[in-house]
Amino acid sequence: MTHLIGGISSAGRALPKIDGKSFQVLRSQGPYLWDMQGARYVDTALGFGASMLGHADTAVVDATCIALRNGPMPSFAHEAEEAAAAMLARFTGELSKVIFLNTGSEAVHLACRTARVATGRQLIVKFAAGYDGWYDQVAFGNAGSGAAEMAGGVRPHRDGILLLRYNDLADAEQLFREHTDIAAIVIEPVLANAGCVVPAPGYLKALSDLAHQHGALVVLDEVLMGFRLHCGLSGTLLGADPDLATLGKAIGSGVPVAALVGKPEIMNLFERGRIVRAGTYSGAPPACAAVLASLTRLEKCDYPGLLARGDQLREDIGQAFAAQGAHISTSGYGTVFTLWNSPTAPRDYAEASHIADNQWTLDLHVALRKQGVMSMPFAYGRIYLTFAHDQTAFETLRQAYAGAAKQMLKR
């Protein structure tokens, strides 16, 4: 009898058994995972993007361990809290005020509450097929759900949340004709959880402008994309004009920490006691130490170099399949992308759901795993690359994908 529900603590971690054997991690370091038998895998799931520095980055682990030894939760303000906030604010532009939390879901939850108090309005908008965490309000319309299809001409809504079609400005204009009391649009800059669908040129700027014209706030959900394209918010790099943003994953390099950042005139509402916030573990010393160490490291990292190496890998994977007579495509960026069993990459969720091929992705996962590469096993999964993925890891990936293509297409 097992006691842990489903054998995992988060539903997204399910992996298929191979030859009757389930997969459990013994340890993870740099670009690698080791299983219970000691076999090593180049990892492309990377805690679902929880680190840009690879697993167990030495500087982050050392700083976190020191903080743990000094006391993991001292109840009161501690020195690293303001230092970590100041460090984070160096990379978030006008969004210079910071509240630390523990998870991305919490950060989105607080962002929505903040927008409602700041505007005095109730409605929140999120993208159909987007993922903004698992809290009740926003856990709706995720990729693969019926609502995400937005079929039938009626805009799906639940508990004050409305869905909006990604990359469809006409739908956003229609939304603001339908509703005059929208508090905020939660914008994932890239529809990453639906397979890295990238924003059309000018889309994020036009959507931000439209929201502002109608008195709504722009909340950038950067939990997945933050610090993934450059040392800062990906959404602003891609044209969005946010009032608030949520961060997580990369800012802690695997140590649980998240943040809400925002413009001072909005975040002042907390200081004036207008918005409730709390959290036993929010801003705990290990989390702040991880933020300081992660951002100190990321600031010096060569983002253009890693993006270029990742783009080259995308190209090489495509060619490996083409050599076997199959034409696949990729969407996203060199540090996070999705593979599609289709010659053209999707430009929106309708195209993504049309070409999503779970069996193909699962077969690819099995073929890769047998060759020492770990990947996410479902169609909207992503390949995450980090600064720990060195030349050796890239070469292993190249060879494993070429081997997988041969194996999957052998007649």
Ligand X SMILES: Cc1ncc(COP(=O)(O)O)c(C=O)c1O
Residue 364 contacts ligand X per CB under 6 A: no
Q: Which stretch binds ligand X (CB under 6 A): 37-45, 218-226, 269-277, 344-352?
A: 218-226
Interacting residue with ligand X among 48, 176, 281, 378 (CB under 6 A): 48
Interacting residue with ligand X among 57, 188, 243, 348 (CB under 6 A): 188
Residue 131 contacts ligand X per CB under 6 A: yes
Between 108 and 320, name the residue whose CB sits nearer to ligand X.
108
# residues near ligand X by CB under 6 A: 15
Bridge partners for 247 per DSSP: 259
Residue 137 contacts ligand X per CB under 6 A: no
Between 107 and 317, name the residue whose CB sits nearer to ligand X.
107
Between 78 and 109, name the residue whose CB sits nearer to ligand X.
109
Residue 283 contacts ligand X per CB under 6 A: no
Find the shortest distance in angstroms from Cβ 388 to ligand X. Answer: 20
Between 105 and 294, name the residue whose CB sits nearer to ligand X.
105
- Name the nearest CA neighbour of 105 among 144, 129, 138: 138
Answer whether 273's CB lies under 8 Å from 282's CB.
no
Find the shortest distance in angstroms from Cβ 48 to ligand X. Answer: 6
Site string for ligand X, 247-266 (x = CB under 6 A): -x---------x--------
Between 133 and 195, name the residue whose CB sits nearer to ligand X.
133
- Name the nearest CA neighbour of 204 among 164, 232, 152: 164
Residue 189 contacts ligand X per CB under 6 A: no
Answer whether 294's CB lies under 8 Å from 68's CB.
no
- Name the nearest CA neighbour of 180 among 158, 153, 211: 211
Q: Which stretch binds ligand X (CB under 6 A): 163-171, 219-227, 320-328, 397-405?
A: 219-227
Angle value at C-alpha 345, between 191 and 171, nearest 5 degrees: 50
Q: Is the dihedral of CA 123, 126, 127, 133 positive or negative?
A: negative
Between 252 and 346, name the residue whose CB sits nearer to ligand X.
252
Interacting residue with ligand X among 193, 234, 236, 294 (CB under 6 A): 193
Between 131 and 303, name the residue whose CB sits nearer to ligand X.
131
Contacts (CB under 6 A) with ligand X, residues 291-350: none
Interacting residue with ligand X among 43, 81, 132, 168 (CB under 6 A): 132
Between 57 and 132, name the residue whose CB sits nearer to ligand X.
132
Interacting residue with ligand X among 54, 133, 377, 381 (CB under 6 A): 133
Q: Which pair of structure tokens corresponds to residue 40? A: 């090593």
How far, in Å, CA of 211 to CA of 182, rounded? 9
Interacting residue with ligand X among 80, 110, 128, 223 (CB under 6 A): 223
Residue 281 contacts ligand X per CB under 6 A: no
Q: Which residue is nearest to ligand X (CB)?
A: 104
Find the shortest distance in angstroms from Cβ 380 to ligand X. Answer: 11
- Name the nearest CA neighbour of 105 among 78, 134, 73: 134
Find the shortest distance in angstroms from Cβ 104 to ligand X. Answer: 2
Place of tokens 């529809």: 191
Place of tokens 């009898």: 1
Find the shortest distance in angstroms from Cβ 247 to ligand X. Answer: 10
Give residues in contact with ligand X (CB under 6 A).
48, 103-105, 108, 131-133, 188, 193, 221, 223-224, 248, 258
